[in-house]
Chain A
Amino acid sequence: MTLALVGGTHRTVPLDLRERLAFSAEQAAAALMRFRDRFPGREGVLLSTCNRVEFYAAGETGSEPPPAEQLVAFLAECRGIEAVQLGPVLARERDEGVARHLFSVASGLDSMVLGEPQILAQVKQAWALAQDSRTAGPLTGGMFQAALRTAKRVATETALGRERVSIPSVAVADFASAVFERFDDKHVLLLGAGKMAAETLRYLREAGARDVTVVNRTAGRAVELAARLGGRPGRFDELVAELAAADLVVSTTGATEPVITLDAFRQVELRRHGRPLVVLDLAVPRDFDPRIGERPGVWLYSVDDLAAACDANRKSRQREMPAAWAIIEEETSRFMGDLHHRSTAPVIEQLRAGWSETGEAELDRLFRRLPDLDDAQRAEIRQAFDRYAAKLLHPPLASLRSESRAGPPHGLLDALKRLFDLKE
């Protein structure tokens, strides 16, 4: 065994236990150092996010990674939890299962929100921390590099992460961006102080929005929110003027009746001179009379409209799962083939060294018998010898590589050792 994994996710570990099991960056670094001292010669990477804690361990033949139960006990010890509590909720994987799992995690297939891209950055951070803590090595290095490659392939060859699935991201990326080419010259009006307003504004800022006005029924709250969100406070009693000046409205008030009726909007419309208006009405109950959405140049979206688009996108992501898994299987098989081939390196090295030694001896003898050869001729003969050796070595090496794809090529290695009298 060369690879081992112990870990739990939002699916298997209850929230209260997950909170206790989670590692901060400092705690993760300390745990890795403790692992290095406890299990010298082994490689370890700790991935800890709000939805998962996973420990990846690896070791070459002769210094295999610790058994799963030791890893469970180690994690429990690091976080001061009873191992018996953790044991039943943590999953265990070995070898190929470890690689397959990591590749699916990095690609976002194991995430709470299918295909979300943040996990890839977290996987990279986990790997960087292991490098800093000197618990990373060639085995985990190869596996994490392959995981990044897999995630990239899944992202580019499937549409898994392409469609947004959160209401604020869909509102901005799929709807507001379909109306406006750019946001740096648009005036954004935040109406109310709902939770989703800040999140939507974050996406709008990423899209370039600069000019933001915050209006709230309570003037003090508007000032406070404007300071927090980096906008300017507006007055609620001047709402018609604010709406007339806005290009995009994000409305999240807690009002029980529509804040903007159709009649009120007609006043706004007169002052807009035909400029298009996008309204993201994220309030429940709605802040804008739905009939306003039928006015020319007005693009009005309620939470239900956006949620329906999110659902459609989620289904679209689900449809990409078979293609994503096919890539993961392909990459897992490729990585395991490379890993198995790695185990043949010492034998190949011995084989090459033996042939090279014999070749050098024969060349020396030949050059002594032909003392009149100049340097160019000697070099030519040496190259011919090297080519001859390489051609003879190619079939057994190709067989080894081919055999490695199906698993460690023990039989072939034994045969080579016996045929060419190679020592351990």
Chain B
Amino acid sequence: MLEFISGISVVCFVASYAVALACEVSRLAFRSSVRGAALVGFAAAGLVAQGLFLGWRAVNAAALPLSSPFDWYLLAAWLLAAGSLWLTLTLPRTPIGLFLLPVVLLLIGAAQLSSREPFPQSPATQIWGAIHGLFNLAASVSVALGAVAGIMWLIQAGRLHRKQPPLRGFRMPSLERLANVTSRTLAVAAWTAAAGFVSGIVLNAVNRQRGLLETVPWTDPVVLRMGVLVAWLIIADALAYAARRRPGAARLTAWLSLVSLAVLTLSIVWGVFGTTRHGMPPAGSSESAAEPSEAAP
């Protein structure tokens, strides 16, 4: 069994998600009585394989799944894949995977380009590190969910403005539900991103005090991109809140969610290709000679 689990690779669950996505796309082309089962089967297989893969890494690295950028992206992808599967089961006529699975695959792609080396850890920083990683994870997942709901809102609203009935086998949730999801996820994203940023500052202070990790300067690319993301999310949430009782508030919130995803994506790209002192051992230690590792957003 252990041999089987250790043999699971990223390709296994990427292939499963890709087939599930292909099943979703085929809804637009033809009807099928077995597609639903195939879609759920492949999505579930991918989810299980990815879960085992992450579990295996956590056990072998003797660290939390958030302990490296690679694991962080994979955990975010896993959460979104789980959400996609759950929504597919509860709303079988809604092509939720068509919107969520591409995000899942992009996150796995980002993981592949990221470092697999765990951040140096100590008991003192482990708790703050976990808090920092979890808040950032919640913010990113919320942004992705909100953007998906926002895209669906815009598509649904476009069809309704053109007086078109729902496409067969492609029924979207109501505008009311999508608007609720969009505004709530935007709020959750803003607050969790802010909490992630603050916990990062605390973590940095603890590291500096105890000399455990390299101190991350305010001008570090990770700090800058996280600062931009947090600032944008707070502004977006404030705009959505201010417009909530005005005509067209739902459309504005949908667009704000999409822009939030764009900002998050730029932030990820910046993180993947940029250099940073984030998560590095202190200068002069034996580990400081290692290649710079990019960090979780």
A-B pairs with beta carbons under 8 A, tally? 67
Is there contact, CB below 8 Å, between B174 and A179? yes
Indicate which residue in B165, B176, B246 contacts A175 across the interface (CB closer than 8 Å): B165
Q: Which residues 75-106 in A have Cβ within 8 Å of B in the complex?
A: none
Which residues of chain A are within 8 angstroms of B172 by Cβ–Cβ distance?
A: 178
The answer to the question of B175 belonging to the interface, with a C-beta cut-off of 8 Å to chain A, is: yes
Beta-carbon contacts of A291-309 to B below 8 Å, as 1s and 0s? 0010111010100010011
Stretch of B40-48, B207-215, B247-255 contacting A (4+ beta carbons < 8 Å): B247-255
Which residues of chain A are within 8 angstroms of B33 by Cβ–Cβ distance?
A: 157
Is there contact, CB below 8 Å, between B165 and A180? no
Which residues of chain B are within 8 angstroms of A329 by Cβ–Cβ distance?
A: none
Is there contact, CB below 8 Å, between B165 and A295? no
Count residues of B near A (Cβ-Cβ below 8 Å).
27
Is there contact, CB below 8 Å, between A179 and B160? yes
Chain A residue at smallest Cβ distance from B180: A181
Q: Which residues 252-300 in A have Cβ within 8 Å of B in the complex?
A: 269, 272-274, 276, 293, 295-297, 299
Q: How long is the Cα–Cα vector from A247 to B13 in the complex, in angstroms?
A: 45
Q: How long is the Cα–Cα vector from A273 to B242 in the complex, in angstroms?
A: 12
Beta-carbon contacts of B188-231 to A below 8 Å, as 1s and 0s? 00000000000000000000000000000000000000000000
Which residues of chain A are within 8 angstroms of B161 by Cβ–Cβ distance?
A: 293, 299
Residue with the greatest number of chain A CB neighbours at <10 A, chosen from B160, B165, B166, B247: B165
Which residues of chain B are within 8 angstroms of A181 by Cβ–Cβ distance?
A: 173-174, 176-177
Chain B residue at smallest Cβ distance from A174: B165
Chain B residue at smallest Cβ distance from A298: B247
CB distance from A47 to the nearest CB of B (A): 30
Q: How long is the Cα–Cα vector from A157 to B35 in the complex, in angstroms?
A: 12
Chain A residue at smallest Cβ distance from B177: A181
Q: How long is the Cα–Cα vector from A157 to B169 in the complex, in angstroms?
A: 12
Q: How long is the Cα–Cα vector from A157 to B32 in the complex, in angstroms?
A: 8
Is there contact, CB below 8 Å, between B244 and A274? yes
Q: How long is the Cα–Cα vector from A309 to B164 in the complex, in angstroms?
A: 7
CB distance from B217 to the nearest CB of A (A): 44
Beta-carbon contacts of A152-175 to B below 8 Å, as 1s and 0s? 000001110011000000100011
Is there contact, CB below 8 Å, between B248 and A299? no
Is there contact, CB below 8 Å, between B156 and A178? yes
Is there contact, CB below 8 Å, between A274 and B163? no
Which residues of chain B are within 8 angstroms of A356 by Cβ–Cβ distance?
A: none
Is there contact, CB below 8 Å, between A305 and B163? yes
Which residues of chain B are within 8 angstroms of A313 by Cβ–Cβ distance?
A: 165
Indicate which residue in B159, B168, B174, B247 contacts A180 across the interface (CB closer than 8 Å): B174
Q: How long is the Cα–Cα vector from A347 to B202 in the complex, in angstroms?
A: 90
Q: How long is the Cα–Cα vector from A170 to B33 in the complex, in angstroms?
A: 25
Beta-carbon contacts of B243-268 to A below 8 Å, as 1s and 0s? 11111111100000000000000000
CB distance from A127 to the nearest CB of B (A): 28
Q: How long is the Cα–Cα vector from A313 to B165 in the complex, in angstroms?
A: 9
Is there contact, CB below 8 Å, between B160 and A299? yes
Indicate which residue in A174, A272, A295, A301 contacts B166 across the interface (CB closer than 8 Å): A174
Q: How long is the Cα–Cα vector from A85 to B197 in the complex, in angstroms?
A: 88
The interface of chain A, by Cβ under 8 A from chain B, is 157-159, 162-163, 170, 174-175, 177-182, 269, 272-274, 276, 293, 295-297, 299, 301, 305, 308-309, 312-313, 316
